[in-house]
Structure 1
Amino acid sequence: MLLSRRNALVSILATGVLALVGCASGGNQQNGTPSTPANASAGADASPTPTGPADPLPAGIVNAIIIGTDSRNKDFSGNTDAIMLAQISEDRTTVTLVSIARDTYLNGNKANAAYPAGGIELLKKTVSDALGGIDIHLTAHTNFTGLISITRWMEGITVFNKHKNTTVVQSTGREVVFEEGEILLENTDALIYARERKALPNGDLDRAERHRALIVGLLKGLQKWNEKSPTTFS
């Protein structure tokens, strides 16, 4: 996913809509150079650039984990069934997404067990260890209620769907058909789309791919909102 410098900044700030819950101090991993501290006010003294406002992010490569818990309440309890690392390149032109499937066996347990066992810090350590000790600077977190709210506020999230399937919602019996190709997910359908795995050919791996598709759709949608109505976006 390639973005302009300005849109890359908009994207990582947009991720904050998912509930920014941590700005961790940590080093920058760039070609083996020594780490330097990063904190929430890292961009406070940055100078404006010709292409946009001051960069609010820590200097260098920035890594953020994006997690979704299976809580149905207005809290952040539950298991992290969606775990992604988003890396913003040093020149702010590229966003790279990497998923960790929830059943991945890490540190003697499933990846999604780290958060309920030790909170954000243990989850960050688990993800970092799995990726060779990479520094994680930011954490964005949502749950079932949050994803539905985001989808409705954005008037839907457009994604490219690789595998057609029909999902039956257990609580209502409603059948939702997700066609192959570009589709618009509205209301509760983004959550239904994100949760499905049994009807997909590669199970949890395909579900993780859907999580990345949702984040890409979310970022592109937020960019459009920012271009169409900066006041509404703010």
Structure 2
Amino acid sequence: MKKRFLALFLALLLAPMWALGEDLLYEVDPETGEVLFLADPEEEIELESVAQDALDLVDGQMNILLLGIDARPGQESGRSDTMILLTVDANQKTVKLTSFMRDLYVEIPGYKNNRLNAAYRFGGPELLFETLKENFGIEVDQYVTVNFTMMADLVNQIGGLELDVESDYIRDRINAVIKMDNKALGIDIDTDLLSSSGVQTLNGKQVQAFARWRTGSSDFERTQRQREVIVAILEKLKNEFSLMQLMRLAATNFDNVYTNMSLATIMQLAPALFELDLSSIEQLRIPVDGAYKNQTVSGMAVLVPDRDKNIAAINEFFAES
């Protein structure tokens, strides 16, 4: 852990001017924080060495908690309805995704037991970090928080995502969410509706609805769809974007997210994406099957986890190479 933070600290010292050989890629204005790109975006760069250098900064494993705030159009804040741990293993060059369901009934340090997403509401990301460690032994290094509107904007910037709308029923549920948002925005409610199911390229609004809709007890399926979106974004960025395009995208969107990482750190780490194996991203959902009970506590429908079974599943998941 100390080595990891030392590496990140050195990255912060070096990041104001990052060079590759004789070619300066970018410079950060020390007064405004603005990123000034000095390299030609079309210039060929020795990607493999840059990506490996970035991956070396991770020094083992890094856990980044991706938080999705369910703030609908016209709202300024919402609940942390999406909690996905993205784990980068620098030694194995792999990525793992772990979803924590929002209705998990957990011990929240300093508060009464409650749903997991209440930890964010009570004390922000820091309390959520403590809660995950207390209940599941998970150490979180960094976090990135976005609302679903921000995610939709990002998807549009990268040209949409190819996703599988598996049935007409799912298409109709997606369209219902789109209509609700269109009404809130005061635009034609039929704007951006899906006309069919199947594999297709979805725009930002459609991806937002794909990741967000929930009916009855379908939150299990929703967490799966949210991981599908994360995988699709990572794959598209790695396979269709150049290093300079990726770094420009990171710089452009930095002010639209909430994170405990500086822009300098993100710019230093971003090239590591090109060195990671995304062909078989392992995924886990907490609680795992057979390790929870559906209960009603104080009028809340919650998932009461079997702590020992879920911790064992987490330990096994992260022990696998």
What residue is the counterpart of 1:143 in the other structure?
147
1:232 to 2:228 alignment: no
From 109, 112, 119, the counterpart of 1:114: 119
Matches within 5 A, 1:59-98: 59-72=59-72, 77-98=77-98
Q: CA RMSD in A?
A: 3.0
Percent sequence identity is: 24
Structure 1 residue ranges without an equivalent (≥5): 1-26, 28-34
The structure-2 alpha-carbon separation of the partners of 1:204 and 1:50, relative to structure 1 and needing over 3 Å to count, comes to closer
Equivalent position SS for 2:68 = strand
Structure 2 letter corresponding to 1:38 = F
Cα-to-partner distance string for 1:174-210 (whole Å, 9 max, x where unaligned): 4546734x332203111111111217xx500100001
* Whole-angstrom CA distance in 1 between matches of 2:64 and 2:197: 31
Unpaired runs of at least 5, structure 2: 15-19, 21-45, 108-112, 184-188, 248-321
In the other structure, the counterpart of 1:212 is: 227
Change (3 A) 1:195 1:106: same
- How many angstroms does 1:226 deviate by? 2.3
Amino acid at match of 1:52: S
Partner SS state of residue 191, structure 1: helix
Give distance in 1, aligned partners of 2:195 and 2:68. 23
Alpha-carbon contact 2:58-2:90 (below 8 Å) kept: no
1:149–1:50 Cα change, 3 Å: closer
Instruction: Say whether residues 1:184 and 2:190 are aligned partners.
Output: no
**TM-score w.r.t. structure 1 length?**
0.70
- Residue 231 of structure 1, CA deviation: 3.2
Q: Aligned residue for 2:180?
A: 170
**Aligned counterpart, 1:222:** 237
CA deviation after TM superposition for structure 1 residue 149, in Å: 0.8
Partner of 1:20: none
- Judge conservation of contact 1:69–1:76 (CA < 8 Å) in 2: no
Aligned pair partner of 1:196 in 213, 220, 223? 213
CA contact (8 A) 1:159 1:184 kept: yes
Higher-Rg member (1/2): 2
AA at the equivalent of 1:119: G
Q: How does 1:128-139 map to 2 (within 5 A)?
A: 128-132=133-137, 134-139=138-143
Amino acid at match of 2:150: G
| Larger helix fraction of residues | 2
Q: Which residue of 2 aligns with 1:100?
A: 100
Report which stretch shifted further, 81-90 or 161-170: 161-170
Task: Measure the CA separation in 1 of the matches of 2:163 and 2:213.
Answer: 15
Whether the aligned pair in 1 keeps the contact of 2:62 and 2:87 (CA below 8 Å) is yes
